[in-house]
A and B are shown apart, each in its own frame.
Chain A
Amino acid sequence: MAKKNDALAQIHMQVMWNRLISVVEEQAQTLVRTAFSTSVREAGDLSAGVFDEQGRMLAQAVTGTPGHINSMAEAVPHFIAKYPMSKMKPGDHFITNDPWQASGHLHDFTVVSPTFHKGRAVALFANTIHVVDIGGRGFGPDGRQVFEEGLNIPIMHLFKEGKANETLMELIRTNVREPMQVEGDLFAAAACNDTGSKRLVDMMTEFELKDLNKLGAFIIESSRKATIEKIRKLKPGTYRNTMQTDGYDAPVTISAALTVGKDGIHVDYEGTSGASPYGINVVFNYTKAYTCFGVKCIVAPDIPNNYGSLLPITFSAPEGSILNVQRPWAVAARHIIGHCLPDTVFGCLHQVVPEGAQAEGSASLWNVQLRGGPSVSGGVAFKGNIPEFEMLQFNSGGTGARPTKDGLNSTAFPSGVRGMPVEANEAITPVVFWKKELRPDSGGAGTQRGGLGQIIEIGGIDGIPFDVLAMFERCENPAHGRAGGGTAKSGRVSLKSGKQMRGKGRQSIPPDDKLVLELPGGGGFGSPMKREPSRVANDVKNGYITREAAKRDYGVALRDDLSVDDETTKSLRTQRAAE
């Protein structure tokens, strides 16, 4: 039995750990409430965390984006390398949006700020936010080099001893499309770190701590051990999986080999396609983040993210592959490929865990970036005014079916961002959403059905023309099922008047026409012939699947009142089994 003081110290360590998680939660909340970009405030595309003197992450808020898990953690040491803790002053805030030092594209800013306690810098707070614009071509996949994608800020002061770096601010304001919003976001980023610092100092005072060394060691060691313990429950070996995605103009193959060892998991991407000439390339930090998220979901979902819990999970990807590009390759729309990594990893882990892993899903968010205005539709014959506008809306297809549950209909995975209400978008943009509704039959058939995608129809108000900066994935490569589950429907981009459009790249919607997006579903899990006929009937009743699909994909015959025709169903299913 532990001695009294040890016991109390142990309990206090646990309490302080909980407190740190709550502190970063407060930090993140402050950011959400004060931010300007829709991506931060509505969608939750941000992260926040606290780091010890060595730049090791001790706690991270659970926010909308796994893309920041490791990328923010990896960014902080770059800051300390340039500005050592001993040289930092109270009121300093540092900034960068370098894709290779932080989180993979220029739209993401990371801001790092020291916490002072008793006159000494004892910790760092960091956050990463996706701002609405960074100049260049805007948020889309059409760039050929990172230089076309906007302004790149190396690590420097955002605030120096409490005073804003006005030179930097002026440069940013001059180069971005929404200067006030971007500036407002950067102020919010600095302010939320201050909130974190204040709470941390309160905690250190309450528990009479001079530094975070002992607490940090405890958190890191406990998390590392717990993660390893989880890994040791898995069957050692190397498990491979390959997934193909659309790419920009040529398909991209993602090959993963996941090795379960005694003390860790390693994921290697040897065999993955080379870099793309367009802006869908992924910086290695971002590759690590989404890979790690996939591993954690299955192996250790309940262990909080910190330096220790991330240590046992390691990665490699060939330099020059699409998952590890170097400057100056274009990277703006790196989420398209990044979001596919958890599905790839699940394919490996499906071979490891007895219950299996969830089927492939729509994976990549369908970010609808629209741009309108006279300069956009200059050559188009249209009577009437075309107002200038820019709109970003997040939309999701279906998730893959889980081993014991259906997939989720039009729900983001692996990204955790929220969608935006149609009414809120129409209030500020001259477009009309004529449809935003589930897409029947789009989920892969299975004992557990894949989640449904959705159909979206957007027209300009009073028929005005506009452009779409398309970055839509799984138009050629649908989500596959697992364990005998069926393939989902792939996505489709077209004009209401009928013309098929490309999944990637800037294209025009002519006057009085509409953009039609059919989002992909998730794959099924297990044989559809094993799905209870009553559940199939219920799906038909609610229009998730059609009566034809019930017969064709599930071998379930329904009467006109949609009750199950048991006899026909039995013979249909026997017939299928024989085939």
Chain B
Amino acid sequence: MSTNKNSARAARKPQARLGVDIGGTFTDVALEVGTTAYSAKTLTTHGAPERGVLIGMRDVIAKAGITPQDIDIIIYGTTLATNMLIERRGAKTALVTTEGFRDSIEMRNENRFEQYDINIDLPEPLVPRHLRFPIPERLTAQGRVLMPLREDAVEALIPQLEKEGIESIAVGFIHSYAHPIHEKQARDILSRRLPKVSITLSSEVSPEMREFERFSTACANAYVQPLMSRHLTALGRDLRDAGFQCPLFLMLSGGGITTLETAIEFPVRLVESGPAGGAIFASHVAHQCGVKDVVSYDMGGTTAKICMIDEFQPQTSRTFEVARVYRFMKGSGLPLRIPVIEMVEIGAGGGSIAHIDSLGRIAVGPESAGSEPGPACYGRGGSKPAVTDADVTLGKIDPDNFAGGRMKLDRDASAKVIAADVGKPLGLEVSHAALGISEMVDENMANAARVHAIESGKDIEIRTLIGFGGAAPIHVSRLAEKLNVPRVIIPTGAGVGSAVGFLRAPVAYEVIRSHHQRLSKFNGRAATALIAEMRAEAKKVVEPGASGAKLVEKRIAFMRYVGQGHEVAVNLPADKFGADAAKSLRKAFETAYKALYDRTIPHLDVEVLTWALLLSTPLPKVSSAKPVKKKIKAKPVGKRKIIDQATGQFVTAAVYDRTQLVPGSVMPGPAVIVEEHTATVVGKAYDASINALGYIVLDHRKLGKKAR
């Protein structure tokens, strides 16, 4: 697939940028030569993923008619680290920890993530108890040494570590975020005696308060490090051998890209880089379209991911949970305290299976039919009704033209399983049962989006929804209606959205430090010194990849009223803190707090817990697309009966072919706009049009004015 956006050739050789996203099933490659985009999809080659990467790269380079030498930059993202954690295929790892705290990663938060199911299993710690080694040492919360590290006790571990065949060691001591002295001492001994073993210090990978999360992050980093290091080194070598001479960058979960060396040191920061790329993609689309308040919506086969994007920047967070073991439920995974793009992921995809719960209600997901056997309509043995089966029954997917007609779907098979599992138990005819499935999955996504918005202190109703991923265009119109969202954008290139997103990501690195200060006793000098130290650390990582670009710095203090448990992120305009710093910090905090919760609380002292500094290259300049003046009534290529979910009536929808549409085309809902891999369903409440970039835009007939 290639789209010519601009045929005007620049005088000098156009820059060629390559983005590669290794997913669980597919490896996506996106190439841009100047303003021309090319893409390829190949199957992921498990075992030696770098092979699949090369196949995809050659494919796309051939399409563009260039050679490996012409590529200027490669940006690479992978789900391998994530999968290693989910499938527990990492290195044999040991944890060296403070005596008395051997079980922090097993005791977790001492609670059950699900209250009523007495048969839940807690996630197994990455390091079993017999490989967790306590060492006498102790610091206070202020970093004062209460008990010096017993170096002889560390020495004494060596034979045991050797005997167990340990490949990687996490070192996590209590309060090491306040002072890394003991962790560093331990590393000196371990690395001297065991030079081949990888060592992760909790004070380096996640220097923040809260022992369970920090130790868990250190263990995860140690667990994936040896294999990721091998894979990334092999990839670098293979690329050089294949003639690529350009630098290789890695996509991080926080939305920036970094050098190979940093990625090898902190591979845990590569977790979920694919979805991060998707969010960056949506941010770029938002920028192109000039929409400042956005919610991105990525729906694939198994899950849907929702992310808030403000001023073209996706919302970020410092915590993330990987490998959830129970219905994607919060608390059922391994916590990682790393900079991530904040999103909510729920078990709602095209393959999600519908059933009747014990209250006689339709429930959808999180179990998924996946791609094998897939929904019943795939005809590969799927015997349970999936969301895609409902979509086929409701006319949203044309069974004769799925995947560009390469795959014929079995409408009768869909009808049969829907009737059996949903229709019959509820006394509903098939179309109503399918409607119920579709409504329920859309409602689940809408609820998740709403709760996520409130957790982030955002108002969803003023936002523009940007939908991508195979199943999003089919469901986005109804989801938008449920969320009262005035406008929806469905960009082109959405099939390889993450890989395209990689190309838009800045070279960036975020440094985080726990450093507690109360504003009533604020020590400006310490804060100033801390910021300078953090800047130096970030520079070391970013500058090698920035090729001389002027760097952009963002500073954040995580603040709260003394006594509260959740902090609010406050942007710091200043990097030096003088006599009146406490006053200006309080003002900045109160502004941020008020924006979130509509009020401030007088008389209470305010404290800073954590400081973050994000250093990055500037975002590529994007000029907003001009509105298309000339409106053209688009010509349908056919018509189809589809259900109107709001009324339950079948209505006749005009069918349009996306490839025939030009900027300015308008199509009133209800309508279906078909393309190679998916179809956009336009509900009755929306009108569709094509903007200057070729993106589909849905505008709500009544809510239009609310869009910002």
Contact = CB atoms under 8 A, between A and B. Distances in A.
Interface of A: 1-2, 4-5, 7-8, 10-12, 14-15, 17-19, 22, 25-26, 29-30, 32-38, 41-42, 44, 62, 64, 66, 178, 180-181, 183-184, 187, 191, 195, 199, 202, 206, 222-223, 226, 229-230, 296-298, 300-303, 358, 394-396, 402, 404-405, 408-413, 416-419, 421-424, 426-427, 432-438, 454, 457, 461, 541-544
Interface in B41-76: none
Most A Cβ at <10 Å: residue of B107, B129, B598, B648: B107
A1 B427 contact: yes
5 contacts: A7-B432, A14-B440, A36-B565, A413-B112, A438-B129
A181 B563 contact: yes
B454 A1 contact: no
Most A Cβ at <10 Å: residue of B129, B444, B599: B129
A62 B115 contact: yes
A410 B175 contact: no
Contact of A421 (B117, B209, B361): B209
B358 A438 contact: no
B572 to A, nearest CB: 22
Interface string B476-495: 00000010100000000000
Contacts of B454: 26, 29-30, 195
A178 B604 CA distance: 11
A415 to B, nearest CB: 8
A146 B637 CA distance: 78
Contact of B116 (A181, A191, A301): A301
Given A36-B563, A230-B358, A19 B443 contact: yes
B119 interface: yes
A186 B174 CA distance: 35
Interface in B308-364: 357-362
Interface string B440-457: 100110010011001101
Contacts of B211: 421-423
Contacts of A2: 426-429, 432
B101 interface: yes
B141 A423 contact: yes
Contacts of A18: 440, 443-444, 447
A298 B119 CA distance: 10
Contacts of B421: none
B146 interface: yes
B688 interface: no
Given A1-B429, A4-B432, A437-B101, A423 B209 contact: yes
B23 to A, nearest CB: 30
B102 interface: yes
Interface string B119-145: 101100000111000000010110000
B362 A14 contact: yes
A230 B484 CA distance: 38
B167 interface: no
B300 interface: no
A22 B129 contact: no
Given A29-B454, A543-B129, A402 B118 contact: yes
B588 to A, nearest CB: 19
Contact of B455 (A29, A38, A230): A29
Nearest to B444: A18
B566 A32 contact: yes
B32 interface: no
Contact of B140 (A33, A412, A426): A426
Interface string B449-480: 01100110100000000000000000000000
A435 B121 CA distance: 25
B561 A424 contact: no
Contacts of B272: none
B106 A409 contact: yes
Contacts of A41: 564-566
Given A25-B451, A36-B563, A422-B211, A432 B107 contact: no
A477 B363 CA distance: 43
Nearest to B428: A7
A5 B359 CA distance: 21
B562 to A, nearest CB: 8
Given A18-B444, A421-B210, 12 more contacts: A4-B432, A14-B362, A29-B454, A42-B565, A64-B115, A66-B115, A191-B599, A223-B359, A297-B118, A358-B118, A419-B107, A437-B103
Given A226-B358, A421-B212, A543-B129, A436 B110 contact: no
B450 A199 contact: yes
Contacts of B115: 62, 64, 66, 416
Interface string B179-209: 0000000000000000000000000000001
Contacts of B435: 7-8, 11
Contact of B563 (A184, A229, A408): A184
B111 A416 contact: yes
Contacts of A11: 362, 432, 435-436, 439, 648
B561 A418 contact: no
Contact of A433 (B100, B102, B210, B360): B100
A25 B454 CA distance: 10
Contacts of B146: 432
A180 B599 contact: no
B447 A19 contact: yes
B371 interface: no
Contact of B138 (A223, A432, A436): A432
A282 B604 CA distance: 35
The 9 A-B residue pairs whose C-beta atoms are closest, nearest first, are: A41-B565, A435-B100, A419-B110, A8-B648, A22-B447, A542-B129, A301-B116, A7-B432, A418-B109
A427 B209 contact: yes
B561 A184 contact: yes
Contacts of B110: 394-396, 410-412, 418-419
Contacts of A542: 128-130
B603 interface: yes
B231 interface: no
Contact of A409 (B107, B359, B457, B564): B107
Contacts of B100: 433-437, 457
Given A35-B565, A297-B118, A436-B101, A1 B428 contact: yes
B121 A405 contact: yes
Contacts of B359: 222-223, 226, 302-303
B516 interface: yes
A35 B564 contact: yes
Contacts of B439: 11-12, 15
A515 to B, nearest CB: 14
B116 A297 contact: yes
A133 to B, nearest CB: 11
A108 B556 CA distance: 36
Contact of B130 (A298, A424, A435, A543): A543
Contacts of A297: 116, 118
A183 B119 CA distance: 39
B647 interface: yes
Nearest to A179: B603
Most B Cβ at <10 Å: residue of A66, A206, A423, A457: A423
A302 B118 contact: no
A322 B115 CA distance: 26
Contacts of A202: 484
Contacts of B603: 180
Contacts of B121: 405
Given A303-B358, A421-B211, A15 B440 contact: yes
A436 to B, nearest CB: 6
Most B Cβ at <10 Å: residue of A12, A19, A411: A411
Nearest to B433: A7
A410 B107 contact: yes
A36 B561 contact: yes
Contacts of A36: 561, 563-565
Contacts of A29: 451, 454-455
B1 interface: no
B259 to A, nearest CB: 32
